[in-house]
């Protein structure tokens, strides 16, 4: 191996390290969102118990909501129990959710819906039987 290629290799690794550092700084800079989970289950239906793994367990009655700020830039698993039904989803997924101000979740009889603007909703998890 020539002196020249060793020089090139060491510069290649230095460049890689530099790019990784920049990526890490960019990651830290991207603001982590606030999460809002609300229950839009039919009136008079039993409450739903929402488990956000590593964060909270909450009981939501129809029209109640719960908010918190994501503090870790990593996938946040959650599931809801409604009677004998369960739905599970990622309350926060860095790949698609990071950089957004707020992530809205709406728990409905059809399942759990996701929105970035509290108006356009997308079904992300359907109920299944335990």
Stretch that binds ligand NAG, among 4-12, 43-51, 61-69, 84-92 (CB under 6 A): 61-69
Site map (CB under 6 A) of ligand NAG, residues 78-107, x = contact: ------------------------------
Nearer of residues 34 and 93 to ligand NAG, judged by Cβ: 34
68 binds ligand NAG (CB under 6 A): yes
Interface of this chain with ligand NAG, residues 15 to 54, rule: CB under 6 A: 34
111-115 sheet: strands from edge to edge: 65-69, 34-39, 102-108, 111-115, 122-125
Handedness of CA 19, 25, 28, 29 (dihedral sign): negative
Number of C-beta neighbours around residue 69 at 10 A:
10
DSSP 117: S
6 backbone dihedrals φ, ψ, rounded to 5°: -60, -40
65 binds ligand NAG (CB under 6 A): no
Binding site for ligand NAG (CB under 6 A): 34, 67-69
């Amino acid at each position: 191996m020539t002196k020249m290629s060793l020089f090139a290799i060491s510069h290649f690794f230095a460049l890689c390290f530099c790019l990784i550092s920049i990526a890490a700084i960019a990651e830290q800079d991207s603001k982590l969102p606030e999460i809002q989970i609300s229950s839009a289950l039919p009136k008079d239906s039993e409450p739903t118990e929402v488990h956000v793994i590593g964060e909270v367990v909450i009981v939501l009655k129809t029209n109640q909501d719960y908010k918190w700020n994501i503090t870790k830039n990593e996938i946040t698993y959650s599931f809801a129990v409604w009677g004998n039904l369960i739905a599970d989803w990622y309350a926060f997924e860095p790949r698609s959710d990071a950089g957004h101000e707020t992530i809205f979740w709406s728990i409905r009889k059809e399942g759990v819906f996701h929105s970035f603007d509290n108006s356009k909703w997308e079904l992300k998890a359907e109920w299944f039987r335990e």
